[in-house]
């Protein structure tokens, strides 16, 4: 059974999704239009990203929080998507080698226990020339006021948001070191003026 914290986090995620998608929706729409074939979304949350998937894809949800599952199923049913839910962490994906065409993460690498192991697992399950699409919030530049703010609130933020590290440094070097052949991404601020998680990287890595 999910813990109280898991239930509360799932409820919060579901009930704030519309607000987040006002900020991220257009970016998601453009990025996820590239998805094809069998799509595995790691850390799917409540499943709100499925509204941006192209028609005809096969969807696998990898989500460690059991309390998210009813929201995933509700969203999938509303969109007419058949979905396969697998409960697991990103560090040990319950997927066969070279079995999926597209992997997607949104605000996931900030909270995994091991970024490099998670990326190696994503690489493992992708077919040759498969693509990893990512939308991740990252640390602000060193020496900026925003980075100082992130460093100050990081423990409180992690406690409130399921272990999310708001000042985690993530970039193309992580994906290259994991073994991806090519990585293309851009940095963009997404969020309000006072948001401490507005620095993002948005892009794709190819096996």
For 123-157, the pLDDT digits (tens) are 999 999 999 999 999 999 999 999 999 999 999 99
Rounded mean pLDDT of 95-122?
A: 97
Question: Where does the pLDDT of residue 164 fall: very low under 50, low under 70, confident under 90, or very high at 90 and above?
Answer: very high
**What CATH code is carried by the domain that includes residue 8?**
3.40.50.150
Rounded mean pLDDT of 159-167?
A: 92
| Domain around 52 | 4-206
Question: Where does the pLDDT of residue 194 fall: very low under 50, low under 70, confident under 90, or very high at 90 and above?
Answer: confident
How many domains does one find in the chain? 1
What pTM, to 2 d.p., does this model score? 0.95
Report percent pLDDT > 70 for the chain. Answer: 100
Given a cut of 80, is residue 16 above it in pLDDT? yes
Given a cut of 90, is residue 192 above it in pLDDT? no
Mean of the per-residue pLDDT values of the chain: 95
Contacts of 183 (CB under 8 A, 6+ apart): 172, 175, 176, 203, 204, 205, 206
Helices (H), 33-129: 69-79, 115-125
What pLDDT, on a 0 to 100 scale, did the predictor assign at position 2? 84
What pLDDT, on a 0 to 100 scale, did the predictor assign at position 191? 86
CB 132 within 8 A of CB 205: yes
């Amino acid at each position: 059974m999910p813990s109280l914290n898991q239930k509360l986090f799932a409820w919060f995620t579901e009930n704030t999704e519309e607000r987040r998608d006002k900020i991220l929706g257009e970016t998601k729409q453009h990025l996820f239009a590239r998805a094809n074939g069998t799509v595995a979304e790691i850390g799917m949350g409540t499943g709100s990203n499925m509204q941006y998937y192209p028609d005809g894809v096969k969807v696998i949800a990898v989500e460690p929080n059991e309390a998210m599952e009813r929201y995933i199923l509700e969203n999938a049913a509303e969109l007419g998507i058949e979905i396969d839910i697998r409960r697991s962490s990103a560090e040990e994906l319950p997927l066969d080698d070279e079995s999926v065409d597209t992997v997607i993460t949104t605000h996931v690498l900030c909270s995994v226990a091991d970024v490099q192991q998670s990326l190696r697992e994503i690489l493992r399950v992708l077919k040759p020339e498969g693509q990893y699409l990512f939308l991740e919030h990252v640390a602000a530049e060193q020496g900026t006021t925003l980075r100082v703010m992130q460093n100050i609130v990081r423990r409180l933020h992690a406690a409130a948001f399921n272990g999310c590290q708001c000042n985690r440094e993530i970039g193309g070097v992580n994906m290259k070191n994991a073994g991806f052949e090519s990585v293309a991404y851009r940095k963009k601020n997404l969020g309000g003026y006072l948001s401490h998680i507005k620095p993002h990287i948005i892009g794709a890595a190819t096996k």
